[in-house]
């Protein structure tokens, strides 16, 4: 409702993320219902892995790849033209590597339904997968923070700097939460605590779609905060969805003297709109009379 001017790609992305996350959650519910309700008190049911667990892992791999590609695209738009590919290609390779290994692990678990074999697959393939995911998250966060800080250091407006610092904090918090769950999952996987590994994996699966939706929904909050803290009447607009054009007007005064008025417009783009290549665009409108 608040983002009716979003590009079609953003709408399709959010719709796809919502559908995939709903599907993933359905698989998780089926997995829990099968072992905790249908086969409650039947130890032999634990000898075989139900299909819904690897299915949720497969959907999670697709979800995580889509979310990480969104943030890689943001990094690409923020980078200077000379270093775009140098920065984004290594990150994209790590994202694709994590996606490939994760999907391979899910397919092998489909083919090997015995629980013992599935746990071996999870141990030998799951650990490298988690390590690659962790590397990709670190690269994404470091790149975003560096680029946002660079844009903020070049800004002459304190409010713009505060907004960019807020975005940096959001990126760091997202990475910290991801790493916390991933490190816990790695520790339990190495210690062969399969039940804890599955539980943490379910938590990690939900973090990726929520991190994307939280980033998009933060636009309304940041816009509200920026407008609510404006004390200078010259600050007139903050737009987080698309860039604004520079308009110039001139008008005369009766006494022949000149007046100078400056209006600052802060534009922050945290969507995947390819038409905007910078996270911050500072525009000034001057009227000389």
pLDDT digits (tens, 9 = 90+) for 8-25: 888 899 999 999 999 999
pLDDT band at 164 (very low <50, low <70, confident <90, very high): confident
Which residue did the predictor score with more confidence, 235 or 104? 104
Alpha carbons 234 and 205: distance in angstroms, whole number: 45
Q: What is the pLDDT of residue 277?
A: 43
Contact at 8 Å (CB) between 269 and 77? Answer: yes
Tell me which residue of 27, 42, 17 sits closest to 110, measured CA to CA.
Answer: 27
Q: Cα–Cα distance between 223 and 126 in angstroms, integer?
A: 41
Percent of the chain with pLDDT over 70: 75
Q: Are 213 and 67 in contact (CB under 8 A)?
A: no
Q: Quick one: tokens of 133?
A: 């995911």
β pairing state of 260-268 and 280-288:
antiparallel
Which of 98-115 are b and which e, b meaning 16 or more Cβ less than 10 Å from the residue's Cβ?
bbebbbebbebbbeeeeb
pLDDT, one tens digit per residue, over 115-148 is 777 777 777 787 888 889 899 999 999 999 998 8
| Residue 2's pLDDT band (cuts 50, 70, 90) | low
CA-closest candidate to residue 56, choices 192, 195, 206: 206
- What integer pLDDT is reported at residue 228 of this predicted model? 61
Distance between CA atoms of residues 162 and 148, nearest Å: 11
User: Where is pLDDT greater, at 1 or 137?
Assistant: 137
- pLDDT at position 17 is 93
Q: Which residues have a Cβ under 8 Å from the Cβ of 181 and sit 6 or more positions away?
A: 200, 203, 204, 207
Ordered DSSP codes for 169-191: HHHHHHHHHHHHHHHHHHHHHHT
- The tokens describing 45, both together, are 């049911």
239 membership: H or E segment, kind and range: strand 235-239
The mean per-residue pLDDT over the stretch 156-179 comes to: 84
Q: What percent of the chain has pLDDT over 90?
A: 24
Which residue, chain included where needed, has tokens 């219902």? Answer: 33
Give 58's contacts (C-beta < 8 A, 6+ positions apart): 102, 103, 106, 107, 110
What is the model's pTM? 0.72
Highest mean pLDDT among 68-72, 243-247, 260-264: 68-72
Average pLDDT estimate for 32-49: 87
User: What is the edge-to-edge ordering of all strands in the sheet holding 280-288?
Assistant: 235-239, 260-268, 280-288, 249-250
Cα distance between residue 209 and residue 206, in whole Å: 6
Please, what's the largest Cα pairwise distance for the chain?
95
């Amino acid at each position: 409702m608040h983002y009716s001017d979003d590009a079609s790609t953003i709408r399709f992305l959010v719709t796809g993320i919502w559908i995939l996350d709903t599907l993933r959650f359905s698989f998780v519910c089926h997995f829990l219902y099968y072992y905790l309700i249908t086969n409650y008190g039947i130890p032999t049911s634990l000898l075989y892995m139900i299909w819904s667990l690897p299915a949720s892992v497969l959907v999670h791999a697709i979800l995580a790849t889509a979310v990480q590609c969104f943030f890689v695209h943001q990094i690409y738009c923020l980078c200077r033209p000379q270093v775009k590919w140098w920065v984004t290609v290594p990150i994209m390779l790590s994202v694709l590597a994590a996606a490939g290994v994760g999907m391979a692990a899910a397919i092998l678990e489909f083919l090997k339904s015995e629980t013992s074999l599935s746990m071996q697959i999870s141990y030998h393939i799951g650990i490298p997968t988690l390590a690659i995911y962790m590397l990709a998250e670190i690269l994404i966060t470091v790149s975003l923070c560096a680029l946002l800080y660079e844009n903020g250091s070049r800004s002459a407006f304190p409010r713009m700097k505060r907004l960019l610092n807020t975005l940096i904090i959001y990126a760091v918090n997202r990475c910290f939460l991801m790493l916390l769950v991933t490190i816990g999952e790695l520790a339990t996987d190495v210690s062969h605590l399969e039940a804890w590994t599955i539980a943490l994996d379910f938590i990690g699966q939900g973090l990726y779609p929520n991190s994307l939706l939280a980033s998009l929904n933060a636009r309304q909050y940041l816009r509200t905060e920026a407008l609510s803290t404006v004390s200078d009447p010259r600050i007139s607009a903050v737009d987080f969805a698309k860039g604004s054009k520079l308009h110039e007007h001139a008008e005369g005064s009766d006494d022949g003297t000149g007046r100078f008025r400056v209006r600052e417009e802060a534009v922050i783009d945290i969507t995947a709109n390819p038409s905007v290549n910078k996270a911050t665009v500072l525009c000034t409108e001057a009227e000389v009379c």
